[in-house]
Structure 1
Amino acid sequence: MSEGRGSVVDFSRIQWRKSSRSTQEGNCVEVASGRAVVPARDFRNPDGPVLGFGPDEWRAFISSVKTGRHDLH
């Protein structure tokens, strides 16, 4: 994954966490803390792709989820 102007981010050593509201079916997203990038991935596919959100974009995404803008079922 690229961050900023093409630098590579190593996600192998970060601490992933998931919501306490995750479903029993495992339909959840894991996130990790980051300064320039908030990484997010599919809990069921830890070796799969990682999406990187800027802090402002992450806050906007979380806000839109909380308001029901996305179909989460």
Structure 2
Amino acid sequence: MSIDNGTKVDLSGAHWVSGADGASAGVPGTHNVEIAMLADGHVGMRDGKNPDGPVLVFTPGEWAAFTAGVRDGEFDRP
């Protein structure tokens, strides 16, 4: 897989994790979003119910901006 600037990103060894808790927390494919920390700081995000589907790949800067926005409430619903 490659991202915008042509950087090749290998997802074959990715370890996908979910932020879920409770009884189903350790069951793959039962959560909406899974994240994997990839080579060179890239971060992969996928739909846990469709693990063979598409993956969003964020650069380290994009991921930092996204997580800062989450912490600041930028995506909270009114």
TM alignment of 1:1-73, pairs within 5 A: 1-3=1-3, 5-20=5-20, 26-27=31-32, 29-34=33-38, 35-71=40-76
In structure 1, the gaps of 5 or more residues are none
- Normalising by structure 1, report the TM-score: 0.70
User: Quick check: which has more Rg, 1 or 2?
Assistant: 2
Structure 1 ranges of 4+ moved more than 4 A: none
Change (3 A) 1:62 1:7: closer
Q: Which consecutive unaligned segments of at least 5 residues does structure 2 have? A: 25-29
